[in-house]
Structure 1
Amino acid sequence: RSLIMTCLSLVFEGIILEYVEGGESKTRSIDLLDLRPDTDVTALVEEIQKREPLITASCLEHVIHLVQRLQEKLGEKQIHKFSLFKVLRTHILPLTNVAFNKSGSRFITGSYDRTCKLWDTASGEELRSLEGHRNVVYAIAFNNPYGDKIATGSFDKTCKLWSTETGKCFYTFRGHSAEIVCLSFNPQSTLLATGSMDTTAKLWDVEKGEEVATLNGHSAEIITLSFNTTGDRIITGSFDHTVAVWDVGTGRLLHTLIGHRGEISSAQFNWDCSLIVTGSMDKTCMLWDAVTGTHIGTLAAHSKEVLDVCFDYAGQRIATASADGSARVYNAGTKQCIAKLEGHEDEISKVSLCSCALLIWLNFELQGSVPNTFRCF
């Protein structure tokens, strides 16, 4: 077989190797969960090289340099201050979603006006408008880390695949019998998954524009889905109170995570694919073994619905966002709440953890009014 190293991407707590095998682009992730500011990077990378044939002698120095950059980031003790950067009048009707490309240089917005718009982050310039859907554009995503394609899912029951550079629509995926409300690319950008109010999820071939599999098993709407970092598993969360774990290659249902007493709002794998965290309208967050599907623990501290959950990149902390106006941070090992973040006057709909900060977005809908502006901080 032919293995050619084409790119090395740096992410918090790991690196992603991008290579070509038999003419097909593939990726492989390597975690660096034990990396510390005082770690001997050269020794660490040489140890990884013994287990990973993709890291050849010719690219060893490049890998060491990238890991040193990550080590420098881990050692930074900066206090970040945020101020209003821009207010963009984006659409003629309310927004539904927003997503950045990997570098943050561009972002996209979806709207009730049936369009998706592409923007330059620094200048605030509208680069193009993706038009063609016949109803609300609700779910949107870049195919990160590449960022050369955009997917849009709509209430018109279709998903469209677009070129980021030209705005050309490559394919329109048809097959769902109800609104598409969530979608995601796999890490290799070879598959696109869509989840629908018709109780099914579908996998689509990005290059051929064909349906690969239909994931049947839920008894109510699917409102969240997520691939793991290796791309061989996908989870779907449903209003039927369950999360399903699927084998991507065969479309086979592996586990059904049963335990929540309300609709699922969010579900995510951790970095090394060993854990799954789920949030629910039953006011709790649950932790599961991703391999066996067994329940590990329940985080029950919120007084209202849990609207979003996430892991940090090391899989050591869990953050939750709730309709009670607070966010909480938990230790994934002990299941103990280590921080309660308060200050918002209304529900928090989105939460995101990185190695150095916790970012919280307030729900777009406040006191019954949905603004059609997007604010960058």
Structure 2
Amino acid sequence: LLWDTTSGEELRTLEGHKNVVYAIAFNNPYGDKIATGSFDKTCKLWSTETGKCYYTFRGHTAEIVCLSFNLQSTLVATGSMDTTAKLWDIEKGEETVTLRGHSAEIIALSFNTTGDRIITGSFDHTVAVWDVGTGRKLHTLIGHRGEISSAQFNWDCSLIATGSMDKTCMLWNAKTGTHVATLIGHTDEILDVCFDYAGQRIATASADGSGRVYNAETKKCITKIEGHGGEISKICFNPKGNRILTASSDKTVRLWDAATGKCIQILEGHNDEIFSCAFNYKGNIIITGSKDNTCRIWR
């Protein structure tokens, strides 16, 4: 479902998947398209405006659990339990390349801002850096002692942050693939990591029910986010960097002040745990995807 975030008014529902919609993304900065990835092994591309489905991408042999657009809005990447990631051309509606090399499911992926690199995080404990044009693997980031849950480039593509079931977040040099720092403090698995757009801060979400914000320079924790009644599966900054959005198994999405960690708003309406949440580019629309098989858009 699409919701209006100021009024909480429901805008539209995207229907068509045959199973749980697990992954969801806007093609920011444009925001006119939404991609959904499902346990039905397909990825669908939709119009934000009309809710019409442009394409259904088929080819994965198992559930799709993560997806991402490149910033140029020419490709969408999907990661699957089949251990591969695929890149799809959103103009032509066809597959461009398959990324093979992980030995377990891919559950995180992220393009860099220039669109020439993509990273994939896997249950095999590693993160791979790939060349988007050729599908060649450039680096393997080795160091985590548990499954990878999340991986992201910062805005200038110099750093990669990875979150793991080993309760740590690691920072890596994106050019060389070398380990830079380990961020500690969570008492349970880290389920998501993200940078703000300036690349000054890193936010982490954990199964311990809390979020943390770290300074990228000092590597110190500057704010804690506490209040959810269950694990936090997703965390993201709004484009301005003054708000943080979290999605939880407590069936709510919450909006927080990024500086103080104070809760500003609780979005309620889903009737099962929420897997994903995202802001559009302007930061005035929020999209959420839940185990209740719906997506909601809030303005």
TM-score bracket for the superposition, by shorter chain length: 0.7 to 0.9
Q: Which residue of 1 aligns with 2:191?
A: 307
Distance 1:146 1:289, change over 3 A: same
Cα RMSD, aligned residues only: 2.4
Q: Which residue of 1 aligns with 2:64?
A: 180
**d(CA) in 1 for partners of 2:93 and 2:241?**
39
- Which one has the bigger helix percentage? 1
Q: Which residue of 1 aligns with 2:111?
A: 227
Residue pair 2:39, 2:62 contacting (<8 A) in 1 also: yes
Give the aligned residue type for 1:275.
Answer: L
Give the one of 239, 242, 246 matched to 1:357.
242
Distance 1:170 1:300, change over 3 A: same
Once the two structures are overlaid, the 10-residue window that deviates more, 281-290 or 349-358, is 349-358
Q: 1:345: Cα distance to partner?
A: 4.4
| 1:180-217 Cα deviation digits (max 9, x unpaired) | 11111111111111111101000011111111000001
Q: 1:139: Cα distance to partner?
A: 1.5
Larger Rg: 1
Residue pair 1:302, 1:324 contacting (<8 A) in 2 also: yes
Residue pair 1:346, 1:362 contacting (<8 A) in 2 also: no
Distance 1:314 1:365, change over 3 A: same
Alignment of 1:272-351 (within 5 A): 272-351=156-235
**d(CA) in 1 for partners of 2:209 and 2:219?**
21
Q: Which residue of 1 aligns with 2:280?
A: none
Once the two structures are overlaid, the 10-residue window that deviates more, 330-339 or 153-162, is 330-339
Structure 2 gaps, min length 5: 252-270, 274-291
Q: Number of paired residues?
A: 259
Q: 1:336: Cα distance to partner?
A: 2.4
Structure 1 gaps, min length 5: 1-116
Residue pair 1:351, 1:358 contacting (<8 A) in 2 also: no
| 1:139-189 Cα deviation digits (max 9, x unpaired) | 122222222222121111111122333333222111100001111111111
**d(CA) in 2 for partners of 1:312 and 1:248?**
23
Q: 1:127: Cα distance to partner?
A: 3.8
**d(CA) in 1 for partners of 2:184 and 2:131?**
30
Alignment of 1:225-264 (within 5 A): 225-264=109-148
TM-score, reference length from structure 1: 0.63
Q: Bigger relative contact order, structure 1 or 2, given CA contacts below 8 A and separation 6+?
A: 2
Residue pair 1:321, 1:351 contacting (<8 A) in 2 also: yes
Residue pair 1:348, 1:360 contacting (<8 A) in 2 also: no
